Every structure is written in structure tokens, then in C-alpha cells.
Amino acid sequence: MLKFLVEGVLFSGFGKKAMKILWLMLLGCVLSVRCLAQPCDFQFEYVGRAVQTKGMHVWGSSPVIGPDGKVHLYVARWSMTTRNDFNGWYRECEIAHYVGDKPEGPFEFVRVAVPDQDGKFNSPHNPSIKKIDGKYVLCFIVNENDDLTTQRIVMYVADDLSDNWKPAAGAESDGTIVRNSTEPTDWNYTARLGVSNPSLIKHNGKYLLYVKSVVFPWANSKKRKYMYGVTVSDTLEGPYKNHPKYVTPATMPLEDAYAFSLGDSVYMLSRDFGASKGSSGGGLLWKSKNGFHFDKKDVTRAYEDLAHYVGEESLRHGTAYRGKLDGHLERAQVLAIDGQPAYLYLATGVNTTPGHGSCSHVFRMKKRDD
């Protein structure tokens, strides 16, 4: 008698019942593979390293086209020499301005755009820059006295990129535009680490500022989840009002979401923080029709870790300042050209250049043909 094992189930012979069960199990496997293989709406082609600086850790690098037609990057960075760990990001970070003639680089340092002021305006980090309604808008996070529970979001505006930034009209005097909610009915009322990682878009006449919080998603939850919500304004410079419901499912945790609109859809690129569609070193593409609800079934795998593109061997002798040597790719930021997403910038904790810390990389980005 022929015996065979499928998914831990032992089958003997070819009885009708056994064959029916086997057929259903195989069909389920095929459908699962098809779901995992659902194509992303965009293609990504690795170009190379975007920014690295000797003696510095470089993190998120946010691009925009300047009045001069060049590509300007607003980059989170901090010194490698003041501490042995990676925690300088929330203790002594600054936002630096780099510029290049092309999206691929090379990029040269221009100046520090937002310095670390310590105290109540401490360690500006995770910049995200957009040009909306003819104005340049720079959003980022700060904290108070190295305390991550006090994270909040700042919005600056300017007419050019000379770095003479001013607080948004609807913000507090220092530019603070969003603090953690004090309303018990809001989705992030229970946030443990404040509100962080902003991404701003204009969609259907409204201004949507997406924010991350680490929260208890339900009343009886015992574990906090990394989730995103949105704040809304009728004007670019606010004030912004918290939308009471979260926009991403608690069952699919995410980090570092970058939002952009294209046609009738709102997209987000994020790190696959919960390894929902592959390793946590890669990223996800989220899609929504209204920007207020991103359904789990519409999420696809977007990109992989750095080793997938450059090969494990090329990273073998590198240094992993954060994560593993496979090079987790984080802090997605997109450069749009003529209204179309064209380049993707990602940060990684791995570097193969001696004396240089974490760095950022650039990819070409193209919409797939429908």
C-alpha cells in the first residue's frame, strides 16, 4: 500500500476521502502562493548609495526638486563618536541639507538645516519634505530631553530651499503641529512613544498628515501594536485635527510609512515591521481609495533587503550598526518627477566603507503597466 505525507497528515492508498482532502490542501497551497505573489503596483531598480558621511550615521533621506532644478535631500544624521550604540538618533540628531545634479547623486553637503537644540526641542529626526501648493513643507519629529514618550511632530514651511524655515501658521510657536492625542476616544490615546514619523499629502482637496503611534488597538489588548493614523486639515499649514480611527490594521504592524497620491488612490510605502509578507528587512506597498482605510488584502510586498540587490557577499565584510548584515531597508522617501513617483530613497544600518556609519541608498521607481 502506498503511503504519503502532506502537511503532517499521513495518507494511505488512493481512497476517495484521502484524495479529496489532498486536493483541497493542494488547492489551498496554490492559492496561498498566488496571494503572496500578488504583484506590486511599482517596480524598483537598485541604483546605488545615495548619502554617506565619514564619522556620521546617516538615516532617512527625503528628496525634493528645488527651484534650481537640482535634487535636494533632507537627511537625518548624527555623530558616530559620541556613543557606541545607535541611540544618537533620539539624543543628538540634526537634519542636514544635501544637493545633487541628478536623483542618482552624487550628493554634496550644503548646511545643517535644523540643528539639535537639546531640551524641549531635542534631536530633530525623520525628515519628510514635500512641495505642496507652491510651498516647501518640512515635517519631522523632536522629543524633550531624550525622552521618547514625548515625541511630537513639527511642520516648517518656506518659499525656497535656503533653509530660512518658519513654523506653519497653524502650529505652535516652535512649529509643533501634532502632539499625542488627549481624547480617550482617539485611536492613539494609549500611545506609549508619543506621535512620530509624519508623511504629508494633499488628496481630494484635503491635507492628510499620516502619523505613527505604538498603541493598544482594542480595549482588552495586552500588547501594543505599531500602527498608523491620520490628521486632517482644510489648509496646508493647519491646524490639523486627529481622525479618531486608525487607518492600518493591527494585525499588520508597520514602520516608517511614506504616503503619496497617484490618480484616485493613496499609497503608502513602509517597512514590513511584522514580517507579514516576507522578512522584516523589506517593505510593503499599501493602497487606499480614500486615504482613511488601508485594507490588508490590498497590501503587497514592495522591495527586499539590501542583500537581495547587491548580494550577500558584497556585504559580508561590512559593519551592521543597526539590524543584520542583510541590510534592513527603512525610512522610505519618494522623489516625484512631473507628478509621477520616480525614485525611492531608503536607509540601512549596514555600511562597507570604513569610518562611515549607516547610510542611504537610491532606487529607480516605475509604475507597472496595468
Q: Count of CB atoms within 10 A of residue 279's CB?
A: 15
> pLDDT by residue (tens digit) across 217-259?
988 888 999 999 999 999 999 999 999 999 999 999 999 999 9
Cα gap 97→112, rounded to integer Å: 6
pLDDT reported for residue 370: 57
What is the pLDDT at residue 34? 36
pLDDT at 219: 81
pTM of the predicted protein model: 0.90
Maximum distance among all Cα pairs of the chain, rounded to whole angstroms: 82
Write the CB contacts of 228 (distance below 8 Å, at least 6 apart in sequence): 210, 211, 212, 246, 247, 248, 254, 257, 268, 270, 294
Task: Calculate what percentage of the chain has a pLDDT beyond 90.
Answer: 86
Per-residue pLDDT, 77 = 99
Q: What are phi and psi of 21, to 5 degrees?
A: -65, -45
**Rounded average pLDDT per 10-residue block, the chain, 370 residues:** 43 53 46 55 98 98 98 99 95 99 99 96 99 99 98 99 99 98 95 98 98 92 94 99 97 97 97 94 97 97 98 97 97 97 99 98 91
For the chain, domains (ranges, CATH) are 1-37 (no CATH), 43-367 (2.115.10.20)
Direct distance between the N- and C-terminal alpha carbons of the chain, in angstroms, rounded to an integer: 51
Return the percentage of the chain with pLDDT > 70, whole number: 90
Q: Which alpha helices (H) appear in the chain, and where do they start and end?
A: 16-36, 306-310, 312-315
Kindly tell me the burial class for residue 149, based on how many C-beta atoms sit within 10 Å of its own C-beta (0-12, 13-18, 19 or more): exposed
d(CA 137, CA 127): 10
pLDDT per residue as tens digits for the range 201-221: 999 999 999 999 999 998 888
Distance between CA atoms of residues 12 and 10, nearest Å: 7
